[in-house]
């Protein structure tokens, strides 16, 4: 009772003060108290009397609270491994795995020199050039660079150091740092002349949308006469064009052209876009001059450029200047540009002038096509000049061209308009000869013309032809004249054909074939106007109208064909046509190409389009992952103050998540939030997943708070989405904090929320918390979902919570009856995993009693479980049931069965089982044979393997795979048949299968053991020639064998070859051979291996460092010895006492007393007790220097450490001291020698001394 009250009181206090528990703190809290505080359902039960509406809870500030509570995780978003108050030593240690040798030398330097920094930078640059680069390492290097700069007033980096630092920073996108470095260099009067740095900096700023910064750097480049790269020009131009910076783009483009380099396709495309921008803004002369310089530099303008300039001149109606332009550049227009000129000339000057201009245009090399003459034919017919139209037709035919259908329609329309209906049949016959089928427009022209000529019988024939072509369907009761009039747009009741009965005044207008007088009862003037309008409408094709008509019909394929065809006719899609194109397509992806083409030719059209169309365009680009284009149009819409729909932001944000462009996503999202955009409850899924993937938790929490506030009635759904996405991304721990935060605000969650949390925690192997949440769910009589049951039942068994697992099974089988079999299977798996075979069998009987029919999965679980406890009789019984019921034995069960059979000497039965498996499942034949080979060899029965291999190769016609070879190599080695292992290894390599490290190690170790070193080296060379990386254990085996044979040089060459060929594995372990090289005095190679280990991400152990320090001392390289000793201590490795002794002795031997004292003091600071030999070395040195004070301190320290001067040491001191030569010159007693003073200061009484 008292305990419960205490816990309740603690919970109350914790809630009042809102304690924030980070992951690092929870490990120090007693588990029972921790779970009482963390248990969500316990808190809910305590307050279950209070019912609060979720929509009424205030969620403001939840993001900031979550950021605070998850501070440990959120810090990882930026720089999770950032050191608190880092020092130079920390930075050097951080980069020592990149440049271990340079970092080691600098570590003990008290005052850095510019030359030291340069050596470090050059070493770093060299290494990262070979092995790639990490942002974190570069940040540390930059910190060292800054530290050195601030270390003294007189320190000044060398120009080369600045250049190298800038190039390294550029490689990891640290553009702001490079800009700062350049500014500091300018202040110091240093000018960087590295083109790569400047080029990358410009491109980097453009990538960050810092166009102003990019132009500033570009200007500095040109001032210093540094030539930008083509990619630099291209990226800068693309940005300038996107931002409509026309004058600047023109200047940059001129600079690129005048540079004279060979332009690639991307640079030419940028040039084309600059021309397009100039022409769009009416600066055709500027575009023309740019093209002239382009041509003068030896380039040929693209068709796109010529079209843009053609269009610009056509708008200005300056055709003569356009013609001179083509002569100047000596490049003729293509048919699209030429036809654009013809169409514009016909509109402005008439067809005859256009024809004359065509003659001049042909002098430039222009080759007209059938559409060119079709334009002239159409306009001639429209002008009523049929004679010219037929002249153009005959010229078309003389050139071997085929007339277009639109040309025929124009001729037919013109002839019928002039009353030449009798001659129309000749045109139709010619069309038939060419295989040109009339379309609906052709028939409409014919009907209008015949009706205008009052040739209704001919019109009726046309209707019948339309039926034959499948354009219409007729019935026996249809009145053909009514159909004709209706088709032509008349009201059939308003137009009637009547016979003149000669009563009174004659009304006859025309005669039929029988000579009867007929007349039309209608408004004749209106009748004639309508027919004339129909004829004129089809003289020239109006593609925008045609597109609008087809949009109404919903035929998207025809619409797209017309959109492509209209450009060839010199026409352009108008804003009306473009809007119609959008409205006719539910699938926007299909019209991206025509939209892009229109946009490139007419970027000014954006001002003519409505908000609906612009939103659709952005959505279409987004759905096709053309995010740059979508963002460009979105920016235009914002500048035009066009309303942006929620769906537009949603489509763009989702597209940016899919293309994984984090910078653009965050920028777009900020802009969307400023506009008040909030994703829908289900639209946020991709955004949430991507932010979790990138570890952007601050943004995740902000999104959550916004959505909870925006959708108060959908809060549970939103929480479910967030918990699920956090769990999927491996951040269930954050999900747990989220649940606690929501509960602290009174927002108590439903069962699904906790189930999602449980699933996520299990995924992260945080099963203890998951089980406790389950306990609380079950305490409230909730029924966990089937996924939670299946996930937690085996976990509960592993944790020894059998009662809970059984209870969960009961709940699952009772309330989730449709999944009973799966629940039983989960519990059975849990029992077998923990060795509870009897309970599993009882569970199986319970299943049968409940009337459940076990499936193959259950029987396979039973087989595997009994194999685990080696109950072969039971396994055989289960196998019989499986065979009788024609169930399939899983590969896992087969593997365990074969293992059991081979272990018990039943290899022949394993062969029969293999046959059984192959009869049921030949798709896994290789796996079946591989398993059999492995376990038969493992049992030592290698004689059967030959029969199996014969069956595989001859009967089954199978080739051994990599796994089979590895099993054979390992298996024969277990049988001590190393000759077979070696044979199969070489066979495997010649089959181009890479052996496993285990296989290689087995064979190479054996070859080295039996002295066949050359064969081991041959095998190594085979691997090297294929670029296969050997495991570090194999390296060690070969090198140790070479060293044991005294072939130290060959061992070094082998290791050097591995490094040169990049065949050293990650986290390589050379500790053993480092010690061996040190024993053999090969210090330089031992140091190289330490460096290689560090660069491959593995820190050598203390023994390796000890060995190197000893070897350095033996070689009298004390500076290097101290470097390694210092590095050892910085890496928190503990040197042996002998290593300390060796350093002290070596320094004393060389007369470097101060260094020896420094080592001794460091040893004492670390809590180590110096050895007696170390003290004696110091005493000897002090004796040599006649340093009475230090000697007495050393004796006293020895005594405090429990050492006593033995007789030999005392006598040695006495014998070496001479009163005549060793007197204390500063003492008042000139007769007292060194020994007398030493003993006196060491605590001996004057009487004893005397």
pTM for the model: 0.71
Q: Are 785 and 756 in contact (CB under 8 A)?
A: no
Tokens found for residue 876? 């055989």
**pLDDT of 285:** 92
Contact 939, 907 (CB under 8 A): yes
pLDDT band of residue 584 (cuts 50, 70, 90) is low
Dihedral, CA atoms, 333, 335, 341, 346, nearest 10 degrees?
A: 150
- SS3 label, residue 521: strand
- The pLDDT, as a whole number, for residue 1223 is 45
Task: Classify 20 in phi/psi space as left (phi over 0), alpha (psi -120 to 50) or beta.
Answer: beta
**Where does the pLDDT of residue 1210 fall: very low under 50, low under 70, confident under 90, or very high at 90 and above?**
low
1102 and 1127 Cβ atoms separated by less than 8 Å: no
Q: How many CB atoms lie within 10 A of CB 1071?
A: 20
297 vs 300: CA distance, rounded Å: 9
Give yes or no for a contact between 724 and 763, defined as CB atoms under 8 angstroms apart. Answer: no
Percentage with pLDDT > 90 across the chain: 26
pLDDT at 78: 44
Beta strands in 274-348 (DSSP E): none
Q: Among 1225, 1156, 1147, which residue's Cα sits nearest to residue 1190?
A: 1156
d(CA 737, CA 357): 79
The residue ranking higher by pLDDT, 151 or 699, is 699
Q: Is the pLDDT at 1112 greater than 90, yes or no?
A: yes
Contact 1061, 1038 (CB under 8 A): no
Task: Give the model's pLDDT for residue 73.
Answer: 56
Segment 1147-1159 mean pLDDT:
91
Name which residue leads in pLDDT, 109 or 368: 368
| pLDDT band, very low/low/confident/very high, at 1227 (cuts 50, 70, 90) | very low
* Secondary structure class of 519 (helix, strand, coil): strand
Q: Which of 1148, 1211, 1154, 1220 lies closest to 1184, judged by CA?
A: 1148
Local confidence band at 1070 (pLDDT 50, 70, 90 cut-offs)? very high
686-689: which pairs have CB atoms within 8 A and are 24 or more residues apart?
A: 686/653, 686/654, 686/657, 686/658, 687/653, 687/654, 687/657, 688/721, 688/722, 688/725, 689/657, 689/725, 689/728, 689/729
Mean pLDDT of 392-411: 92
CA distances from 1152 to 36, 423, 1110, 1182 (A): 63, 121, 17, 11
Q: Which of 976, 872, 891, 990 is nearest to 931 (CA)?
A: 891
Q: Give the CA angle between residues 516, 521, 526 to the nearest 5°.
A: 125
Q: What is the per-residue pLDDT for 512?
A: 58
1137-1149 helix and 1153-1165 helix, angle to the nearest 10 degrees: 160
Higher pLDDT, 334 or 639: 334
The answer to whether 595 touches 620, Cβ cutoff 8 Å, is yes
Q: How many residues does the chain have?
A: 1250
Average pLDDT over residues 991-995: 92
User: Above 50 in pLDDT, residue 333?
Assistant: yes
Three-state DSSP at 518 gives: strand
How far apart, in Å, are the Cα atoms of 121 and each of 114, 158, 175, 184, 966? Answer: 11, 11, 18, 18, 45
Q: In whole angstroms, what is the distance from residue 69 CA to residue 161 CA? A: 43
pLDDT score of 419 more than 50: yes
- pLDDT value of residue 500: 60
Res. 156 pLDDT band, cuts 50 70 90: confident
The strand pair at 510-511 and 496-499 is best described as unpaired
Q: Which two tokens stand for residue 399?
A: 């050139």
Answer whether 158's CB lies under 8 Å from 121's CB. Answer: no
505 pLDDT exceeds 70? no
DSSP state of 1223: B
Q: What is the pLDDT of residue 1105?
A: 95
pLDDT at 309 over 70: yes
3-state secondary structure 593-629: HHHHHHHHHCHHHHHCCCHHHHHHHHHHHHHCCCHHH
Q: Is the pLDDT score of 1079 beyond 90?
A: yes
Q: What is the pLDDT of residues 1190-1202, one digit of tens each?
A: 888 888 888 888 8
pLDDT score of 1218 more than 50: no
User: What gap in Å lies between CA 526 and CA 521, rounded to an integer?
Assistant: 12
Q: The tokens of 408 are what?
A: 């025929």
**64-85 confidence digits (pLDDT tens):** 888 888 876 555 444 444 555 6
Q: Check whether 310 has a pLDDT greater than 90.
A: yes
Say what percent of the chain tops pLDDT 70.
Answer: 86
Residue carrying structure tokens 């952007």: 696
pLDDT at 1087: 95
Across 1001-1012, average pLDDT:
92
The average pLDDT across 434-442 equals 88
**pLDDT tens profile 654-683:** 988 888 878 888 888 888 888 888 888 888
Which pLDDT band holds residue 27 (cuts at 50, 70, 90)? very low
Residues 957 and 946 sit within 8 Å (Cβ to Cβ) = no
Q: Could you tell me the pLDDT band of residue 506, with boundaries at 50, 70 and 90?
A: low
Q: Which residues pair with 1223 in a beta bridge?
A: 1233
CA distance linking residue 343 with residue 330, whole number of Å = 23
pLDDT-derived band at 510 (thresholds 50, 70, 90) equals: low
Mean pLDDT calculated for residue range 129-135: 73
Hey, what are 694's tokens? 């990138």
Over residues 452-484, the pLDDT tens digits come to 888 888 888 888 888 888 888 877 767 788 888
């Amino acid at each position: 009772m008292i305990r419960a009250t205490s816990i309740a009181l603690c919970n109350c206090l914790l809630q009042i003060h809102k304690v924030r528990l980070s992951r690092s703190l929870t490990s120090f809290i007693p588990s029972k108290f921790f779970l009482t505080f963390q248990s969500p359902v316990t808190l809910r039960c305590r307050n279950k009397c209070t019912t609060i509406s979720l929509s009424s809870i205030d969620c403001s500030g939840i993001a900031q609270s979550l950021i605070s509570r998850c501070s440990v995780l959120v810090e990882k978003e930026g720089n999770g491994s950032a050191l608190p108050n880092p020092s130079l030593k920390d930075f050097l240690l951080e980069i020592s795995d990149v440049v271990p040798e340079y970092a080691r030398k600098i570590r003990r330097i008290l005052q850095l020199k510019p030359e030291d920094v340069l050596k470090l930078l050059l070493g770093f640059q060299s290494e990262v050039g070979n092995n790639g680069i990490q942002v974190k390492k570069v940040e540390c290097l930059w910190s060292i660079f800054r530290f050195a700069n601030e270390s003294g007033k007189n320190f000044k980096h060398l120009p080369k150091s600045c250049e190298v630092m800038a190039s390294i920073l550029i490689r990891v996108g640290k553009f702001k740092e490079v800009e700062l470095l350049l500014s500091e260099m300018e202040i110091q009067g240093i000018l960087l002349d590295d083109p790569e740095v400047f080029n990358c900096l410009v491109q980097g700023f453009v990538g960050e949308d810092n166009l102003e910064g990019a132009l500033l750097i570009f200007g500095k480049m040109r001032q210093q006469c540094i030539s930008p790269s083509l990619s630099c020009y291209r990226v800068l131009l693309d940005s300038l064009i996107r931002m409509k910076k026309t004058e600047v783009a023109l200047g940059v483009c001129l600079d690129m052209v005048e540079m004279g380099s060979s332009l690639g396709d991307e640079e030419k495309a940028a040039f084309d876009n600059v021309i397009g921008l100039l022409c769009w803004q009416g600066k055709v002369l500027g575009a023309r001059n740019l093209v002239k310089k382009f041509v003068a530099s030896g380039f040929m303008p693209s068709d796109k450029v010529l079209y843009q300039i053609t269009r610009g001149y056509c708008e200005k109606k300056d055709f003569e200047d356009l013609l001179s332009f083509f002569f100047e550049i000596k490049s003729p227009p293509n048919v699209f540009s030429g036809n654009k000129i013809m169409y514009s000339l016909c509109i402005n000057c008439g067809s005859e002038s256009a024809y004359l201009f065509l003659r001049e245009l042909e002098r430039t090399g222009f080759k007209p096509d059938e559409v060119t003459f079709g334009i002239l034919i159409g306009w001639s017919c429209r002008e009523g000049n049929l004679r010219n139209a037929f002249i153009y037709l005959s010229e078309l035919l003389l050139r071997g061209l085929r007339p277009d259908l639109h040309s025929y329609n124009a001729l037919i329309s013109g002839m019928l308009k002039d009353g030449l209906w009798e001659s129309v049949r000749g045109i139709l016959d010619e069309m038939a000869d060419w295989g040109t089928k009339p379309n609906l427009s052709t028939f409409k022209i014919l009907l209008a013309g015949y009706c205008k000529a009052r040739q209704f019988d001919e019109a009726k024939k046309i209707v019948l032809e339309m039926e034959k072509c499948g354009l219409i369907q007729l019935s026996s009761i249809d009145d053909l004249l009514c159909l004709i009039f209706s088709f032509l747009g008349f009201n059939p009741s308003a137009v009637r054909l009547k016979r003149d009965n000669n009563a009174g005044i004659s009304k006859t207008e025309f005669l039929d074939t029988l000579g009867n007088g007929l007349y039309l009862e209608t408004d004749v003037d209106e009748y004639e106007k309508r027919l004339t309008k129909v004829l004129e409408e089809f003289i020239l094709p109006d593609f925008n109208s045609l597109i609008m008509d087809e949009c109404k019909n919903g035929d998207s394929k025809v619409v797209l064909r017309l959109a492509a065809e209209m450009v060839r006719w010199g026409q352009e899609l108008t804003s009306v046509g473009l809007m119609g194109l959008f409205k006719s397509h539910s699938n926007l992806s299909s019209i991206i190409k025509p939209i892009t083409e229109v946009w490139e030719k007419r970027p000014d059209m954006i001002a003519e389009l409505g908000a609906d169309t612009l939103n659709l365009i952005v959505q279409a680009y987004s759905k096709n992952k053309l995010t740059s284009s979508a963002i460009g149009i979105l920016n235009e819409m914002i500048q035009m103050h066009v309303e942006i729909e929620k769906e537009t932001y949603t489509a763009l944000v989702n597209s940016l998540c899919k293309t994984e462009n984090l910078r653009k996503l965050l920028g777009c999202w900020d802009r969307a939030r400023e506009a008040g955009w909030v994703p829908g409850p289900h639209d946020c899924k991709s955004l949430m997943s991507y932010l979790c993937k990138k570890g952007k938790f601050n943004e995740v929490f902000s999104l959550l708070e916004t959505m909870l506030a925006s959708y108060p009635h959908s809060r549970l759904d939103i929480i479910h989405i967030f918990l699920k996405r956090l769990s999927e991304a491996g951040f269930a721990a954050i999900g747990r904090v989220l649940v606690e935060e929501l509960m602290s605000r009174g927002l108590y969650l439903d069962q699904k929320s906790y189930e999602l949390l449980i699933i996520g925690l299990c995924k992260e192997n945080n099963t203890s918390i998951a089980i406790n949440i389950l306990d609380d769910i079950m305490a409230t009589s909730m029924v966990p979902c089937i996924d939670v049951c299946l996930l937690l039942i085996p976990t509960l068994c592993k944790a020894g919570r059998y009662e809970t697992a059984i209870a969960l099974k009961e709940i699952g089988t009772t309330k989730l009856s449709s999944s009973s079999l799966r629940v039983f299977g989960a519990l059975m798996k849990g029992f077998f995993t923990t060795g509870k075979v009897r309970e599993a069998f009882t569970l199986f009987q319970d299943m049968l009693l409940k009337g459940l029919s076990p499936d193959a999965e259950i029987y396979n679980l039973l087989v595997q479980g009994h194999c685990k406890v080696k109950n072969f009789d039971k396994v055989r019984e289960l196998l019989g049931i499986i065979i009788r019921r024609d169930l399939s034995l899983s590969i896992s069960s087969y593997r365990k069965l074969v293992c059991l059979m081979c272990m018990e000497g039943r290899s022949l039965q394993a062969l029969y089982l293999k046959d059984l498996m192959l009869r049921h499942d030949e798709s896994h034949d290789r796996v079946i044979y591989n398993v059999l080979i492995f376990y038969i060899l493992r049992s030592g029965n290698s004689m059967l393997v030959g029969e199996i291999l014969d069956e595989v190769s001859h009967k089954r016609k199978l080739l051994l795979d990599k796994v089979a070879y590895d099993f054979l190599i390992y298996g024969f080695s277990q049988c001590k048949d190393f000759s077979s292992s070696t044979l199969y290894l070489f066979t495997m390599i010649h089959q181009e299968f890479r052996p496993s490290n285990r296989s290689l190690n087995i064979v190479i170790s054996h070859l080295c053991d039996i002295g066949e070193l050359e064969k081991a080296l041959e095998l190594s060379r085979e691997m090297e020639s294929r670029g296969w990386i050997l495991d570090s254990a194999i390296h060690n085996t070969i090198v140790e064998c070479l060293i044991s044979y005294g072939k130290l040089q060959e061992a070094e060459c082998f290791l050097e070859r591995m490094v040169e060929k990049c065949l050293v594995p990650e986290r390589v372990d050379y500790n053993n051979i480092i010690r061996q090289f040190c024993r053999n005095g090969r210090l330089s190679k031992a140091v190289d291996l330490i460096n290689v280990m560090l660069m491959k991400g593995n820190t050598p152990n203390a023994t390796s460092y000890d060995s190197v320090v000893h070897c350095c001392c033996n070689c009298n390289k004390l500076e290097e010895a101290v470097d390694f000793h210092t590095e050892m201590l910085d890496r928190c490795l503990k040197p042996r006492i002998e290593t300390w002794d060796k350093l002290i002795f070596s320094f004393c031997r060389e007369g470097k007393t101060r260094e020896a004292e420094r080592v001794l003091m460091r040893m004492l600071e670390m809590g180590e007790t110096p050895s007696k030999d170390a003290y004696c070395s110091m005493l000897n040195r002090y004796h040599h220097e006649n340093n009475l004070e230090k000697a007495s301190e050393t004796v006293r320290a020895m005594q405090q450490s429990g050492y006593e001067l033995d007789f030999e040491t005392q006598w040695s001191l006495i014998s070496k001291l001479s009163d005549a030569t060793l007197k204390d010159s500063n003492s008042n007693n000139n007769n007292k020698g060194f020994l007398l003073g030493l003993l006196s200061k060491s605590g001996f009484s004057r009487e004893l001394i005397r």
